[in-house]
Structure 1
């Protein structure tokens, strides 16, 4: 049994940069590398891709990431855990094996399945966000339960070099190797809580290194173009030290760690995961200097009797159109264009939204609020939701018509239509959900 385990986080979302993971694998002296690449919306979109092609549905960057990382993790004896399996962990396993064989790398890959609970959902379950039956949201297309660390443990026990999951709670990706290496009792809620704190601090990768933290005026972070991702040294009592590879950009200190600790935490007394209801209120952070923060405390109670399920549904189509106005009276001309579109489409488009980018697109200021502002340029964006793609396309067409049927000086029109995947959540009894492991070797 190890007395210390080092885990690096090479990705905090699906579109994260590739280079920080490579640096961690090459120079971080890791035991484990975690790539956390899944969110509520991304798994629903992955289900759409799988429906179109049964060999797809895994993370779009899986091939690029593994092509770079497989030789390094094999050389440095690093085990990789990732949720890039998304909606299709088995297809992801096959793709990783294919990459390994093309490079003559001998590895064992484990895929964890069981999070797809679509067949268990009737539609009568109550959505957490709306307090109405799921079926009221629209046609359901996916349902994925958040599995916990226990689902990963069986894969770890196979000595697999690469472990691929679908929907697993983010902190569980980090907690599982700690349970495995330290032989922790999964019913020891204090240890489960401490391990969950560690996982939560690392799960967003570059955020704790100063990425999402940075503000060039109030919170200066140096060398962000080479932002390093974090790793953590965890000890058998659950204490830990968060750091990053020397020479990489960004920084880790009390401020970045505190922001990440509270990220997406609505109740620090009760942070629900499949493994534990964690208590963050007793966490103590100590700045050790040189991009090192010590983490102690934390705990938890109980293992929830239910699992959260992320449910995707067809939510219609969004049509969009954009056009720019610049120079004197740019805002007034953009407002006139917006009024023209509202009069032409207002009665036929649901949820019509008109933004004046550069003036009121983020804070939703009213026309009266923006009087007196004289921006030099404005980008008008019009968007609305319709039942069909054909109906949604009319929004962009009307914006394009502003070239000669609207105010003077409009240019740079862009129009597009996107099918919308909506997301709601519900709860399912955890005893209904079964997971299993599939193994293949190259």
Structure 2
């Protein structure tokens, strides 16, 4: 243990920029203090779609951009002793571990120690969903997955057993940072204030660039320099859990009290009692202060004993969703566009649900029928008609979307630029479940040069 530990975040969601981890690794190596790097790439629907991919092909179901994310930095991190933690295992941590093992071999690190954390998939335990209080919402639906949000303990356990890369499925986002911090500092899991402080660090970093100026800029009000080359965040964490949030030198974006405060309150339902698997976090006494250019100090998190429940998200088949668009421009465009919506609504009367919007007139401040909400009114001579339709049957959605194309000849004058798309729909519902039956498993594997098929299990345990 040392007096401080650095942790960087290289992704805030699946589909995030894949060229941002290299500056982070450069900064961590240049600093020289003990450090770790984590990637947060998992959302509720992200995981459900990963389950669908895995059902189609057992070797898929992990983060689709995993190779693009890790290949540029994996070798350097392994050589420099910088552990990597990521929930890019999604629905198939084993497949992610095998891919990482191949990337490590290609990077000249044939004996990388790669751990997988499983146990979040609780479909078997959730067979009787009455305890979750979701019966009405799930009645008759085809269930795709049920996943519990695991905490940081299995991550810390894996690092304690020498893992250089830890791959998880569904876990609480802050746990990706808390695990390395507990492992490094040796905090007790019942030292609630320190566990809360580490959870706060994870919460501030988990969305990547949102704490360094992403999703923050508002020209003339909140200026962010170099938004096209945003630097992703690094936390310099002290043994007492206090931290300084910063970013790599020379990158775009900014770290200010305002960016930190916005992320501090992001997705927190109760600032005095933010429930996580590891602690109940209280941020009402947190102090935020600028201590240098792009350096903001954060301290004062308080914690209470972890809740007796874990969040479980159940994903079900939501059928199919389709979107179709067509443009109208010039004098009287709005009237022609509204007539097009009327035609579509009548022609698609058999669809389960249809929403119509006039983009540029009422797509944000209108109802599902394209009518303005009270106090909102606009006009334009260049707008886009959009419908969104959903149904349990793909063919019904396809028929509805053909009606958008048919407007080119069968609709109002001067429609053009029609296009459409269709995709599967997943519905997710969340509830709290008792934690006792949910058990995480940690497996640490070693990929050797004479193991061409993949990583061979070395050790396994339950946490």
Instruction: Please classify the TM superposition score into its range, dividing by the shorter chain length.
Output: over 0.9
Deviation at 1:289, TM superposition (A): 2.3
Q: 1:123 Cα deviation (Å)?
A: 4.6
User: Equivalent residue of 1:207, what SS?
Assistant: helix
The match for 1:9 is 9
- Aligned equivalents of 2:132 and 2:352: distance in 1? 23
SS at 1:19 equivalent: coil
- What SS class does the counterpart of residue 118 from structure 1 fall into? coil
SS at 2:292's partner residue?
Answer: coil
Match of 1:420 in 2: 425
C-alpha distance after superposition, 1:96-149 (max 9, x if no partner): 111212332231111111111111112533556xx5445327111101100001
Match of 1:333 in 2: 336
Is the 8 Å Cα contact of residues 127 and 134 (structure 1) preserved in structure 2? no
- Quote the Cα distance in structure 2 between the aligned partners of 1:285 and 1:439: 38
Segments of structure 2 that go 5 or more residues without pairing to the other structure are 448-463
Aligned 8 A contact 1:383 1:395 in 2: no
Q: Secondary structure at the match of 2:72?
A: helix
**2:185 & 2:215 partners in 1: Cα distance?**
32
Offset at 1:198? 1.0
**Match of 2:71, SS?**
helix
In structure 1, what is the Cα distance between the partners aligned to 2:132 and 2:218?
37
**Would you say 1:194 and 2:192 are equivalent positions?**
no
Q: Which moved more, 1:109-118 or 1:69-78?
A: 69-78
Where does structure 1 lack aligned partners over 5 or more consecutive residues? Answer: none
Q: How far, CA to CA, are the matches of 2:142 and 2:320 in structure 1?
A: 13
| Structure 2 length-normalised TM | 0.92
Structure 2 distance, partners of 1:32, 1:371, is: 49
> Distance between the aligned counterparts of 1:432 and 1:392, measured in 2?
41
Deviations 1:319-338 (A, max 9, x none): 32111112222221111100
Q: Does 1:161 align with 2:164?
A: yes
Number of residue pairs matched? Answer: 439
Whether 2:28 is the aligned partner of 1:24: answer no
State the partner residue of 1:374.
379
- In the alignment, does 2:175 pair up with 1:172? yes
Residue of structure 1 in register with 2:306 after alignment: 303
For 2:94, which of 90, 95, 109 is the aligned residue?
A: 90
Change in Cα spacing, 1:236 to 1:137, as seen in structure 2 (3 Å) is farther
Q: Is the 8 A contact 1:320 1:383 kept in 2?
A: yes
Q: Which residue of 2 aligns with 1:324?
A: 327
The aligned counterpart of 1:101 is 105
> Hey, what's the Cα distance between the residues in 1 that align with 2:93 and 2:11?
18
> What is residue 361 of structure 1 aligned with on the other side?
363
Which shows bigger deviation, 372-381 or 111-120? 372-381
Q: Larger deviation: 65-74 or 162-171? A: 65-74
Contact 1:268 1:279 survives alignment (8 Å): yes
Distance 1:85 1:353 in 2: 35
The CA deviation string for residues 248-278 of structure 1, in whole angstroms up to 9 with x for no partner, is: 1010011000000000112101000000111
Q: Secondary structure of the residue that 1:57 maps to in structure 2?
A: coil
Alpha-carbon distance in 2 for matches of 1:125, 1:140: 14
- 8 A contact 1:89–1:113 mirrored in 2: yes
- Match 1:258 to one of 256, 261, 275: 261
The alignment's TM-score, normalised by the length of structure 1, stands at 0.96
Helix, strand or coil at the partner of 1:221: coil
CA contact (8 A) 1:126 1:133 kept: no
Q: 1:25·1:73 contact (CA, 8 Å) conserved in 2? A: yes
Q: Is residue 44 of structure 2 the alignment partner of residue 40 of structure 1?
A: yes
1:41-77 deviation digits (Å, cap 9, x = unpaired): 1011111111101110000011111211212212332
SS in 2 for 1:392: helix
Note the aligned Cα RMSD (angstroms): 1.6
Q: Distance in 1 between matches of 2:98 and 2:324?
A: 40
How far apart, in 2, do the equivalents of 1:335 and 1:114 lie?
A: 51
Q: Which residue of 2 aligns with 1:205?
A: 208
Higher mean C-alpha displacement, 431-440 vs 197-206: 431-440
Structure 1 counterpart SS, 2:354:
strand
Aligned equivalent of 2:141, options 128, 138, 147: 138
Distance of aligned partners of 1:271 and 1:371 in 2 relative to their CA distance in 1, 3 Å threshold: closer
